[in-house]
Chain A
Amino acid sequence: MRRYRRTAFLLLLPSLVLVAVFVYGFIFWTGELSLTNQNDLFVPQVRFVGLENYQRLFAHPRFQIDLRNTLVFSLIFIPGSLILGLFGALLLNTGVRGEGFFRTIFLMPMALSFIVTGVAWRWLMNPTSGLNLLFDALGLGFLKSGWYTDPAVGIKAIALAAIWQLSGYTMALYLAGLRAIPRELYEAAEVDGATPWQAFRYVTFPLLTPVTLSAVIVLGHISLKIFDLVVAIAGISGGPAFSSDVPALFMFVTTFQANRFAQGAAISIVLLVLVSFLVIPYLYWSLRQEVAE
């Protein structure tokens, strides 16, 4: 037994060291950097400045817009993907013909990189071509929009592209979840005289909660960290008046274009804190589940 434990430890050691250095070490380093005045490639006297970078950050008009954009994006993207995914899964679960074919089609966008999706949607949502032309041809001119070039739309247009890409993924999750529900439960419900809606509301829906929760975690951290989709659609400037800008983009520009490393580190730490709001309760919840089992 002891021997096994030692072997296991030795085998784990390399990855433990790598994770300790390259994940936790660098997180710590970033945190430390964010408290200094290292806001240039070369600073003659590096010193701690406390929370100055954070104060500046929260006072910055661009960062305020970014936080609001993240909220708007999440509120459209997460429910949008969940509802579309659930809807698709329910339809496919009725046993339509060619289920495998449709499943593949809906899941395919997830296999694409955000850059590919972004370029395609950038063309689709170009105000003088793409979707607007289609709407015109169909007599649906009222649907026309400036999309990502209209400051009033901005991030909402990006959220549409993201929904397109990830609703197939939530569909696959829900489909697996639906398949895992024992048939007997529906039979029992039927015996008790439940309508199809009641069966969905009181059997399907509660039993899908774990799936929904995992999906929210995955989608939630995507929406907090989104970067490539925004760059591909709205460009590195984040659209007019930062209407499509997100914190990750601001971090990139601050760090790698403006050389304000400490300021960029502060943005990263804020992002980390936001993501941990999402991940820590989830870890807590899933660990508790395991113990209960």
Chain B
Amino acid sequence: MKKRAKAWGIGALLGLLIAGLGLAQGGKLEIFSWWTTGGEAAGLFKLFELYKQKHPGVEIINAAVAGGAGSNAKAVLKTRMLGGDPPDSFQVHMGHELIDTWVVTGFMEPLDEIFQKNGWEEVFPKGVLELLKWNGHYWSVPANIHRANVLWYNQAIFEKYGLTPPKTFDDFFAAAEKLKAAGVIPLALGDNGIWASTHLFETVLIGTLGPEGYKGLWTGATDWKGPGVRQALETFARMLDYVNPDHAARSWDQANDLIIQGKAAMYIHGDWANADFMAKKFEGYGWAPAPGNYGVYDALSDTFGLPKKAPHRQEAIWWLELVGSKEGQEAFNPLKGSICARTDCDPKLFNPYLQWAMERWKTDTIVPSLAHGAAAKESWLAAINDTMSLFVTSRNVDQAQAMLAQACVDAGVCK
């Protein structure tokens, strides 16, 4: 008898628990990202703070997974999405990483209504709207814009050797030769994660093929087997003669340290390097577009989308509206070290580099970044990363070009 009473008691408790869970479901929002450190986490928390002011009843669950460029987070997200347990909204790179991985496969909801309601077609630049669109619909809201093709340099070294930022590859090699002769590392590289080499190669592709030729690589209009890609590989191989010998041991920020310590003169990398300079209280740096990249803005963007099975759809829509709003972008981006995807943010809120980038954002031709998921789908990028892993050591142009051409065929873009 006693036992049965106990069983009833437990049953009742369980019932209460389930009911309790049901009630709590009302106001929740789960945001998935790989923003866990420094400025990016600070920016994310700032957005959460603003969200709570607007929607005080909603409990925010921060489902962030650590790991550079989201390499771990993306694997976790995949298992959740495929398992039918998506977060309410998740961070994803603008362009093919979003479109080919999640939109074409039917996991996302189109956001046209939110775009129209908030008048976003007027405030986001055309180049960005194109990258967000697929099949005539919008699929995600960009929170920020990073620039990938920036040449960072140590000002003291440049002054000492009477150098100016190289505009062309010829200028670059002339400067590099001079620096090498003086015993300074001309170019810093940290490709412990091979994406950093892919990143450098992408700026060489842009500088060699021009913005239209570069964009054509991703649609099949530019021939991977052609002389342009060959020339880019040869230029890239020559550049590698001027990098620090321990590049394979360094991460991107450890390569940046070479600039800070005055051991290396130049670093071609994305503008998160700027946030790193500031975090490390280093002011003796200058910047310019990467060689051959004048007038081109190689862009990547973190965006948020709406999964079809999002458990808290309304809360997620409020989140997307905040991410795309002027208020949200002005709060987030100065902390993250990126510029607004919108063109109407107040430049005074941003540091000098970001102000420069905002000017360029309005005038430059926008092209999608390869290494950061905008230009090509993930399997294609993985194949190009594989090619770079071999090429950085072997410098075998024929093999690399053949592998790149095959990767385009495998991606279903080239015949």
Spell out A's residues near B (CB within 8 Å).
39-42, 61-62, 126-128, 146, 148-149, 151, 235-243, 252-254, 256-260
Contacts and interface: CB of A to CB of B under 8 A. Distances in A.
Nearest to B81: A41
B379 A240 contact: no
B191 to A, nearest CB: 8
B248 A239 contact: yes
Contacts of A242: 389-390
Main secondary structure of the interface of B (DSSP, over half): helix
Main secondary structure of the interface of A (DSSP, over half): loop
B393 A128 contact: no
B371 to A, nearest CB: 12
Interface residues of B, number: 34
A144 B130 CA distance: 52
B389 A259 contact: no
Given A253-B382, A258-B378, A42 B104 contact: yes
Nearest to B249: A149
- Give the interface centre of A239, A240, A253, A257 by most chain B CB atoms within 10 Å: A240
Given A127-B249, A237-B385, A42 B390 contact: no
Given A128-B246, A240-B248, A253-B382, A235 B394 contact: no
B248 A257 contact: no
Given A241-B390, A241-B394, A236 B379 contact: no
A25 to B, nearest CB: 17
Q: Lowest 5 CB-CB distances: which A-B pairs, in order?
A: A42-B105, A241-B393, A258-B382, A237-B194, A149-B248
Contact of B101 (A39, A41, A61, A236): A41
B249 A126 contact: yes
Nearest to A256: B75
- Give the interface centre of B82, B104, B393 by most chain A CB atoms within 10 Å: B393
Given A256-B75, A257-B74, A127 B393 contact: no
A259 B101 contact: yes
Interface of B: 71, 74-75, 78, 82, 101-102, 104-106, 191-195, 245-249, 378-379, 381-383, 385-386, 389-390, 392-394, 399, 403
Contacts of B403: 61
Contacts of B75: 252, 256-257
Contacts of B383: 258
A257 B249 contact: no
B193 A240 contact: no
- Give the interface centre of B75, B194, B389 by most chain A CB atoms within 10 Å: B389
B379 A42 contact: no
A150 to B, nearest CB: 8
B71 A257 contact: yes
Given A235-B193, A236-B71, A256-B75, A62 B379 contact: no
Nearest to A127: B246
A235 B192 contact: yes
A252 B72 CA distance: 11
Contacts of B192: 235, 237
A257 B392 contact: no
- Give the interface centre of B101, B102, B194 by most chain A CB atoms within 10 Å: B194
A238 B389 CA distance: 9
